[in-house]
Structure 1
Amino acid sequence: MEYLKTESATQLPAISTEETALVEAIQQPKHQILIEMIEDLDQRKKVMRKIEAIEDIIQTSDERKQEKVQLWADRLEKDPRTITRWLERVEKEGLASIVRATRSDAGKIKGSKRWKHSAQYWIDFILKTYKDGIKAGFAMALDLTNNQVKSHAELELGLKEGEYPSHMFVYKIIEPLIEKKNRKVRNPGQGPGIIVKVTSGKEAGKWVEEDIEVIRSNQVWQIDHTRLDNLLADKEGNLAGSVWITAVIDTWSGCVMGYYLSFSSAGSHEVALALRHAILPKQYGPEYQLQKEWEVCGLPEYIVTDRAKEFKSAHLRHIASDLNIKLRLRLYTEQGGVVERLFLELKSEFAALILGFKGGSLKERPDHPEKYACVVYEDYDRKLVRHLVDHHNQHLYPRVANQTRLMRWKAGLLGSQPRMPTSERELDLCLMKSLARKVQERGCIEFETLVYTASLSRDEDGHWRYDKTANFLKAYEGQKVVIRYNPTNIVYILVYTPEEDDQPAKFLGTIRARDLKEEHLSLKEWEDRKKKMREEGKAIDQSSILAQQRDLYTSSIEQARTLKQRRKKENNRIVRNSKHSDKVVELHPPKLSSPRAKPKVENVDSEIASSVLEDLEFTQEASEVHVQPALYVVSDWNEFVEDEW
């Protein structure tokens, strides 16, 4: 059996002592490679490629060695550290050490000695977690399964990092179960960079470019919206559809400042509601199960959006003008990477773990997602708030070590405090568009079939009672006012005077729905409740009402027809029995010279003529009108009396 030898040392150029040792290691027969034993042609090609790389690097001078290592790393698609380890291994053991075809433990899944549980324990847990998620209709990506492993190890078992498998071990277990697809890698954009390229509009047909250097929190907020990948249900279990989210992101820290959910596609008013939520301090009850507080708030200096029509509306410009905020449009799509990154996270780490996940495309859509739609809007909102507060804002900031997004937002505030509006009334313009309503009797306003009044106040026990003194709308009965409301809670609405003579509207107060006992009711929930009441009303047997109405109508119509026929029959009988000829009588004779004069009627039967003349004479006598003397307008009454006297 012959061995394939490499080039002899006499053919190599002059090299250093260290390089000579490497060459000698290659030339030693005991380290030569038995090429004939490598039957796989591809494997043999890889081996010869490695040898070529090692020889080329050895013959390179010290000044260019690192450059040559990087060059071969790019050619072989390896890390430069891998090439360096090959050189060290060849120096010690020869070329056979870097071209070994297989390891003795190849194909075996090995764990770490530091793990508190065996490798088989973690393999079983990983596989069970992944398969259970798939059966439940979740989009169990690799990172989601790794998050479950990490949560189980740290929260349930009390382990520290290194005492449980890393993400690479989890990926290695799951990858054989996942069908490999050619996925298009999408660049999410620049992200929270230092420079944001924007435009304020066009001048002379050209976009006016502007560079904003982001150096602090609440300097630049970005707003965008997308449809979330979950099918929701109503309280009766019927399919309600998916919701849109309008999110407000701080560019400096990546924190979610606020949001708004809607079943319809987002418009300018949804953007305004999301902005209002972002500016105000946020308080949530125990039903949200938050472990952290949503501390972010304040007024921004800039709002950067894309060029959608809802971001260029007069409503949003009015809000920005009142709050001293500058509106800018993104000059390039890549500038919105910070928002796109949030949407990608919501899809892969939130929506994928909620029942009813439908996927963003047909390729990733599970079978029959509507069967799993059981989460109602209120529960979905609570889950989303907890994800944004306890997960996203508490996540490590990607470009700064040992700092969460919330910590970065706090550290980046100018003066350590956010700029806030003087009162919540300044943000009323962000509420739903204004509606004109007429104040009815006793100071009531009707809206969405609900009656609102200001004549309510709480007693000592917290119950709502009638209070005549609290009715500030009593003075506006019969007048028109303007109301604004938040569609997430229509129990309370705000009342303003209308804008007149370029004078701004004046806030009058808050009124409450008179017949609602709960303190929170969304417009969508109220509309669903009304729809349910209508459907329940249709299900009740009301045939007796319809029958009564139908019988009443038909009987009245029949009576009207009978009465008409009787009148016609009686009229015909009178005409037949009368002695009237076919002569025509002039019903409107010319004006008589004397009230008692009788007009001449020619070609008329004497009896008919006499009766007609009597009727006309009676009519003329009855129609006589006594004319009052004319009235005079006297400028000086005393002078008039003296003259007439």
Structure 2
Amino acid sequence: MADQEFGLTGESTEVTEAICLSDSNFAVDPLLIILKTTDNNKLRFNLIQWLAESPNHQIKSQRKQAVADTLRVSIRQVERLLKEYDEDRLQETAGVSRSDKGQHRISEYWQGVIKDIYKKSVDEEHPMSPTQVFSEVERKALVDLGLKQGDYPHKATVYRILNPLIEEERRKKKVRNPGSGSWLGVETRDGKLLKANFSNQIIQCDHTRVDLRIVDILLSLLPERPWLTTVVDTYSSCVLGYHLWVKQPGSAEVAVALRHAILPKQYPSNYQLSKTWDVYGTPLQYFFTDGGKDFRSKHLKAIGKKLGFQCELRDRPPQGGIVERLFKTINTQVLKGLPGYTGSNVQERPENAEKEACLTIQELDKILASFFCDIYNHEPYPKDPRETRFERWLRGMGGKLPEPLDERELDICLMKEAQRIVQAHGSIQFENLVYRGESLRAYKGKYVTLRYDPDHILTLYVYSCDANDDLGNFLGYAHAINMDSQDLSLEELKSLNKERSNARREHSNYDALLALGRRKEIVEAAKQNKKERVQAEQKRLRSASKQKSNVVELRKTKTSSSSVPQEQLEALPKQIEEDIKPQESEFKAEKDLSNQSNNNKEDRHKLIISKHQHKNNIW
């Protein structure tokens, strides 16, 4: 069935032709993944992993189509598999996990009964066997509850519930406490026992929120306490490296702290270290952490694959006792006497911690560096006071310092930013700054990958854009223009950009209001000017029309003619006489009409209208 799903039986030639893509974006052809994979589930996992490592959306869409063609599934199904991979639910050996995997199908009541019976026997130091637990469950179901056969859990179900509990008790008895005996042992989440027989074999890492309030460069109290990431050697309990963060660290920050632990330390003179920090090196076998999401990232696994170590998760918090004990030591020996100390619990919280806070994160970094380098690493080893932690670490390394790695090999630990296009003169824009590198002039118009140290953001490490998740070829450095004599961290640069943006926004708002007022004035002036132009044009047209018209001359002629005296002033009586004559004729016609009506009744409705009078005047 699996072969039919992937279409690999009897049709390998057709599949090969379908996925042999010649586009330059496919630096790793899916065919290579198929040739190296014999298991179908592993094939699906490798293809989805190849898809997840796409550097940009264009290549990702092309790879998505290639994976869909290879697995003979739809694009939507590939997207589901990619989502499961991102959520760590896609298994490499068993395919996609069931949604109810690891869950028991019996009711929570019976699960609680089975676990309570076994845990009670363990607390009484007489652990019951699985058969005895099932007998007790059967007795409770048949006798106490009156149930019938089949209404309570089967024996196999009881065994499946008890197996993890029995295995956990077995491991607790087998594993020795870290730091006891001639060797140190820690236990992983999958039950493996790791023994630390020499230095840098097992390196542990963890985070904690520092119990200290700090201020920024403007002496304003920061809203949150800083975070501290420490990297500790299990064999000698020496601190290999650390890093302070303003925000809660993630996988990228863990990688930066690991890089600090691997490289030799070179602090500037203003740190005033009295001793050299010679404890460093790569994890030789294991990188041991808790089960946080930042420690389970693909980024750390890729670093381990390149540097040759394996990432392991601890089973229980006591397995990280060495690194956890360091945090308590820092509180009691370093932070407790500093202004702004908040205490590890409410009872120890000093008053006015926020008001007394005056240290910046840079000053706190100097204090911790001096403590780790000059004091902690050179204190007597707790299990053997005859030698210091540093002496034990050096002895575990064979009496010599490890060979330092090339810094370019550790660029994979630096934070990775999205790709950028090289602009003219080899310049790149990043975080509102313009960077320039002479070696980038030949890559104008091409995509490059940027990596950077968050503590020194004014210098970027530029790599060629590889279609895989690999670094590609190192092209050179890019430095911020006109900032050669300065040094900024990523957080400081983002803070400056935010302040600049707020100032620009406030200034732009004020300018917008001024511009709005000027715009209204211009519009009103334009309207008034238009009105005046229209009126002037109308006046001009009227003047032109008057020049072409004879109305003025006719008016003058009429005025001159009306001013001459009239000799026929007798017109008024004549007019009166003419008006009277029609009235007399009308009266005579009415009299005749009345006479005719008396003589002839048939003609009494006839109307006689004078030729000089309109019908309307009659009525």
TM-score range, shorter chain: 0.5 to 0.7
Contact 1:282 1:295 in 2 (8 A): yes
Alignment CA distance shift 1:490-1:504 (3 Å): closer
For residue 430 of structure 1, the aligned residue among 405, 413, 423 is 413
TM-score, L = length of structure 2: 0.54
Pair 1:196 & 2:179 matched = no
- CA distance in 1 between counterparts of 2:477 and 2:236 reads 36
Alignment CA distance shift 1:564-1:503 (3 Å): farther
- CA distance in 2 between counterparts of 1:485 and 1:560 reads 55
Contact 1:198 1:304 in 2 (8 A): no
Alignment CA distance shift 1:321-1:563 (3 Å): farther
For residue 231 of structure 2, the aligned residue among 241, 248, 252 is 248
Contact 2:178 2:184 in 1 (8 A): no
TM-score, L = length of structure 1: 0.52
Pair 1:267 & 2:250 matched = yes
Alignment CA distance shift 1:501-1:228 (3 Å): closer
Alignment CA distance shift 1:549-1:324 (3 Å): same
- Taking the TM superposition and a 5 Å limit, the aligned residue runs for 1:366-381 are 366-381=350-365
Amino-acid identity (%): 37
1:540: Cα distance to partner? 7.6
Q: Give the aligned partner of residue 464 of structure 2.
A: 497
- CA distance in 2 between counterparts of 1:565 and 1:321 reads 80
Q: Which amino acid aligns with 1:440?
A: Q
- CA distance in 1 between counterparts of 2:393 and 2:429 reads 44
Pair 1:225 & 2:207 matched = yes
Deviations 1:504-533 (A, max 9, x none): 511101111112143532112223334445
- CA distance in 1 between counterparts of 2:492 and 2:471 reads 33
Alignment CA distance shift 1:524-1:501 (3 Å): closer
Q: Which amino acid aligns with 2:276?
A: E
Q: Give the aligned partner of residue 446 of structure 1.
A: 429
User: Any idea what SS the aligned residue of 2:335 has?
Assistant: helix
- Taking the TM superposition and a 5 Å limit, the aligned residue runs for 1:581-620 are none
User: Any idea what SS the aligned residue of 1:472 has?
Assistant: helix
Q: Which amino acid aligns with 1:303?
A: F
- CA distance in 1 between counterparts of 2:192 and 2:356 reads 48
- CA distance in 2 between counterparts of 1:398 and 1:370 reads 35
Pair 1:478 & 2:445 matched = yes
Contact 1:224 1:339 in 2 (8 A): yes
Q: Which amino acid aligns with 1:230?
A: L
Q: Which amino acid aligns with 2:376?
A: H
Q: Give the aligned partner of residue 236 of structure 1.
A: 218
- CA distance in 2 between counterparts of 1:250 and 1:381 reads 20
Deviations 1:269-299 (A, max 9, x none): 1110010000000011221111111101111
User: Any idea what SS the aligned residue of 1:239 has?
Assistant: coil
Contact 2:244 2:361 in 1 (8 A): no
Q: Which amino acid aligns with 2:455?
A: T
- CA distance in 1 between counterparts of 2:505 and 2:469 reads 49
Q: Give the aligned partner of residue 487 of structure 1.
A: 454
Pair 1:521 & 2:488 matched = yes
Q: Which has the higher helix share?
A: 2
Deviations 1:451-498 (A, max 9, x none): 1112xxxxxxxxxxxxxxxx1111111211111101111121100111
Contact 1:435 1:484 in 2 (8 A): no
For residue 400 of structure 1, the aligned residue among 355, 380, 384 is 384
Q: Give the aligned partner of residue 118 of structure 1.
A: none
Q: Which amino acid aligns with 1:443?
A: G
Contact 1:223 1:249 in 2 (8 A): yes
Alignment CA distance shift 1:484-1:504 (3 Å): closer
1:546: Cα distance to partner? 3.7
Q: Which amino acid aligns with 2:419?
A: A
CA RMSD of aligned residues (A): 2.9
1:363: Cα distance to partner? 1.8
Contact 1:269 1:431 in 2 (8 A): yes
- CA distance in 2 between counterparts of 1:434 and 1:534 reads 22
1:538: Cα distance to partner? 7.4
User: Any idea what SS the aligned residue of 1:403 has?
Assistant: strand
Alignment CA distance shift 1:441-1:325 (3 Å): same
Pair 1:391 & 2:375 matched = yes
| Structure whose CA Rg is larger | 2
5+ residue gaps, structure 1, are 1-188, 200-206, 455-470, 567-645
Q: Which amino acid aligns with 2:379?
A: H
Q: Which amino acid aligns with 1:227?
A: R
Q: Which amino acid aligns with 1:247?
A: T
- CA distance in 1 between counterparts of 2:461 and 2:393 reads 33
Deviations 1:19-64 (A, max 9, x none): xxxxxxxxxxxxxxxxxxxxxxxxxxxxxxxxxxxxxxxxxxxxxx
1:414: Cα distance to partner? 3.8
User: Any idea what SS the aligned residue of 1:386 has?
Assistant: helix
Contact 1:229 1:357 in 2 (8 A): yes
- CA distance in 2 between counterparts of 1:344 and 1:503 reads 39
Contact 2:184 2:235 in 1 (8 A): no
Q: Which amino acid aligns with 2:397?
A: L
Q: Give the aligned partner of residue 355 of structure 1.
A: 339
1:554: Cα distance to partner? 3.2
Q: Give the aligned partner of residue 192 of structure 2.
A: 210
1:214: Cα distance to partner? 1.1
- Taking the TM superposition and a 5 Å limit, the aligned residue runs for 1:79-478 are 190-193=177-180, 194-199=183-188, 208-240=190-222, 241-300=224-283, 301-414=285-398, 416-418=400-402, 420-421=404-405, 423-454=406-437, 471-478=438-445
Alignment CA distance shift 1:547-1:330 (3 Å): closer
Alignment CA distance shift 1:299-1:503 (3 Å): closer
Q: Give the aligned partner of residue 561 of structure 2.
A: none
Alignment CA distance shift 1:560-1:320 (3 Å): farther
Q: Which amino acid aligns with 1:229?
A: D
Alignment CA distance shift 1:298-1:552 (3 Å): same
- CA distance in 2 between counterparts of 1:477 and 1:344 reads 53
1:385: Cα distance to partner? 0.3
For residue 510 of structure 1, the aligned residue among 477, 480, 488 is 477
User: Any idea what SS the aligned residue of 2:191 has?
Assistant: strand
- CA distance in 1 between counterparts of 2:469 and 2:359 reads 48
Deviations 1:565-590 (A, max 9, x none): 99xxxxxxxxxxxxxxxxxxxxxxxx
Contact 1:190 1:338 in 2 (8 A): no
User: Any idea what SS the aligned residue of 2:336 has?
Assistant: helix
